[in-house]
Every structure is written in structure tokens, then in C-alpha cells.
Amino acid sequence: MASKPKTIFFSAAAILILAQALVFSCKKEKSEIDYGMQGYPHEVGKILVNKCATSGCHNDKSKEAAGGVSFESWDKMFEGSRSGAIVIPYRPDLSTLIYYTNSYTEFGSIQLTPKMPIGSDKLTCGEIKTLYDWIKNGAPNSDGSIKFADNPSRKKFYVSNQGCDMVYVFDAASMLAMRAQTVGKIPGYVEAPHFIKVSPDNQYWYVSFLGAGVFQKYRVSDNSFVSEANIGFGSWNTFVLTSDGKFAYLVDWSSNGKIKKVQTDSMIVKNTLGGLNWSHGSAINSTDDTLYVTSQISNYIFKIPTDFSNVDFIVLDGTSFPNNGSILDPHEVLISPDNSKYFVTCQKSNEIKVVSRSNDQVLATIPVGTYPQEMAVAPSKNYLFVSCMEDLTTFPGKRGSVYVIDYNTNSIVAKVHTGHQPHGIMVDETHGRVYITNRNVTTGGPAPHHASLCSGRNGNVTAIDLNTLQLISDFKAEVSVDPYGYSITH
């Protein structure tokens, strides 16, 4: 007789364990996508890869129709967009990724449209918190590496925004904003960082303020605050550093202006010179024993020994006597690379004065556009670049121009429109570019891409190709309000 098949019985507990194992197995299988392959931390990758790097949106194939942004990988994201960086490590409050995805006031008031992801449900509060906290912690990749932290000595340039107490730090190679540092002493009070300079050894950068009685020092390597000098009340406009970086001379722009000498290692004021009529622009000679300081409402500049033992007047208009009327209104002074002469921008007479250092006689007068301000030189090309901030005639219908002058022949070789109200100029011969800060503070300029954390209109940074002297058309990086001060590593 055939045997009956055996019946196998499972206890209820065994069935429950088996069911849980199956469910766990399914969940594990679904979460096995390795976002680390794209360089993202897992939870961040789940959002950016699945909801942003999709067909028709921010993947490699579609990015040209989506602002030039690809989220296919962490490296692709840090190539930025046509408007510059979309993530600035440690600054979710300045990252457009948050602006375009955030719908919740706890993560910031700047909320741009169209809200991303387009055509899908908005990101949840938890997803925005994941992105926000990730950027706040440096936006690391899956290995914990922070972008731009691999090479502290990389070439950088700096833009201080005096309308928002902010300094943007750009990576010169990619021209992307790599960091942003809030500066100043009093939170919530705009102190107007006006001027910025990198030390000769590239270890520190310094910033002065129109509305603060301090002079601040930060590290180049990580932008951390080091110390500050208490320099007292003043409209602290420009300053120069000695060739060894041991001293700074700060200039107060007022009717009874003054100069403060600060020892930079201790950040202690060592000496003060007062009684200077509207002192403004400044330069120091190669032997660090003579200062040249402009008197901005006058026909002259000051020539001052660095021990402040006396003050000489260099009259620039061909007359014999200093005149405190608004005649030439010298704004800035710059010494030539070979130290044989110096250049002075005269914002009232719209010209550059070329002056011999040996006898302080005017060698040439070069007419330029309206309201010439800042200067920079490219020694490899013998070029002097001059920003003419309020020029309305060189490029009709536009405000501002940059004049390029051959400083050996004193001849104008090019004129470039770089943006609305160009001001700061930085020459980068390493990458063959000249960076321009465009203030954009008056009406008639381009509408900013987005609102600012402060009141006022955002400005921008553009660049000239040093070889062609043409504007680089695909670079225009929006920064904060009134980009004014500027510097570049050596």
C-alpha cells in the first residue's frame, strides 16, 4: 500500500520569522543602490539622483536646457551652472540648490521659482533638512572629502561685499565661489567691508571696514578668523602691506583723515598720522620706506615716509600749489612693476596721471572713461587695467568700462564693457584672466538672479581673457550686495 505524503507543520513563530526575513530582504534589495558610486552620501544621493538627475532635468544629457547643472554625481554638481556655484560648502544660506528646492521658512526666506523638482511633488521638510545640514557640514562626498579642501595653496581670489559684510572666496581655476565668510564685529549690523588684501606669503587675508573700528585678519587656508586690531572710529578705506607683511598702513577717508600703522603679528597699532585732507588710495614703494596716498578732493597726492616724519604734497595739475577744491580728485595710486613710476586715477578729470618716482613729475596724462577708480597690472603684457565706473559714453546705453593701457607707451589698446559699474580688478596671469567686480548698485543695471540676505541689489564678477582682451562670455558669477573690495593670492 502506497505511503501517504508527510505533512510538514510550521509553528506560528516560525512563519512570522520567515515573513519578516522576506520583508527585510525586499527592503534591503530596494535600498541597495549605491549612491556612493556617484560620490554622494546615501541619503543625499537618494534625493539628488532620484529627484533631480532625471531625464529632461539635471542629468548630463539634459543639463544645457536646465541651467547647465548636472546632479548625476557629486563631481558634476561641483562643476556649477552657467551662473556659477550652486553649492557653497558650509553655506546653505548662500547655495542656490536650497533656494530652488526649499519651501519651508525655517530653512531661509529666499525661495526661488520654478520650484524644483519641476512636475513632481515638492521636497519634504525632512528632505530639505537633509540637504541643508549636508551643505552646512561642508557638502562632503561619500568618502567625507570636502570640495576645494584638498589643496589649501590653490590660487584664489577674494571679493568683499560691503552691503552685506560678506567675503566670497573663488577658486581661480574653475572660477567657482568655493567659500563665503561673514566678516565684521557686530552681528546684524552692516559694517561695510571695503578693502581686502592677501599677505605677501599667502598665509592671511586682511579686511578693513567703513563702519567698524577694527581691522581683521583671517587665514587663507580655511578662512578662519585669527585676530583684529582696534583702530578706532574712521571710514577705513584702503590699506597697504609691507613687502614682508609685517606692517599694514590703513587710510581713513575723511576731511581730517589719518593713517594707522598696525603690526600684523600682534595686530597692535604702532603709530598714527592725522590731518590729511580726504586721504583715500594708497601704495608703498618696494623698499617699504615711502607711502603714496591720494587726497580724493584736491589736485594732489601725499608722499609720506613710513616713519611719519613729514608729509610732502605732489601736485598733479601743473600748478604750483596744493588745492583742496574738487579739481582732479585723485582716487587710487598704483606703482609700476619696475618701481620707476606710479599711476593715479583722477575721478573728477577722467584721466590717468603717470608720474615719475625719481622726481615726482607728471610724465603723461591719459584720458579715460568717466569716473576712473581701480587699477591692476599684467606685467607679462605691459598692460594697465583701469575701471571707469560711471562711463556712459564709451559703450552707449551701458554704464561702465574697463580701459586697457600699454604702460610702456601710455597708449590705449582696448576698451571692454564688463558689467554695470565695474570697480575692482584682479589680474590672474596663471590662468590668463582678469577678474572684475561689478557693483550694480544703481538703477539701470541687470536684475539680480536672486534676492540677497541683505537689503540692496546683488552685484557680480566677470572676467576678461588676458590674451584676446575680450569678455569671457560664459562667466558671470553673482555675489552679494555691492562687491567692492578685491584681492588675489600671489
Tell me the HSE value of 384 on the side-chain side, using a 13 A CA sphere: 29
pLDDT tens digit sequence for 310-363: 999 999 999 989 999 999 999 999 999 999 999 999 999 999 999 999 999 999
User: What are the φ and ψ backbone dihedral angles of 23, each rounded to 5 degrees?
Assistant: -60, -45
Grid-cell match 530639505, residue found: 128
What's the first-to-final CA gap in the chain, in angstroms?
100
Residues of the chain with pLDDT under 50: 1-31
H/E run at residue 15? helix 12-30
Rounded to 5 degrees, what are φ and ψ at 447? Answer: -65, 130
Name the 3-class secondary structure at 263.
strand
Burial label, 111 (beta-carbon count in 10 A; 0-12, 13-18, 19+): middle
What cell does 227 get? Answer: 585676530
Number of helices followed by number of strands (H, E) in the chain: 5, 28
Residue 72, C-beta contacts closer than 8 angstroms, at least 6 positions apart:
38, 49, 53, 58, 59, 60
pLDDT at 178: 98
For residue 32, the model assigns a pLDDT of 54
| ∠ Cα 373 291 325 (to 5°) | 55
Q: Residue 20 has what pLDDT?
A: 43
- Predicted pLDDT at 449: 83
Give the integer Cα–Cα distance in Å for 428 and 85: 20
Tell me if residue 65 falls in helix, strand or coil. Answer: helix
Q: What is the pTM of this model?
A: 0.91
Q: What is the model's pLDDT at position 453? A: 87
Q: What is the DSSP letter of 63?
A: G
* Three-state secondary structure call for residue 426: strand
Q: What number of other Cβ atoms are within 10 A of residue 72's Cβ? A: 18
Instruction: Enter the C-alpha cell of residue 293.
Output: 596716498
Chain position carrying cell 618716482:
357
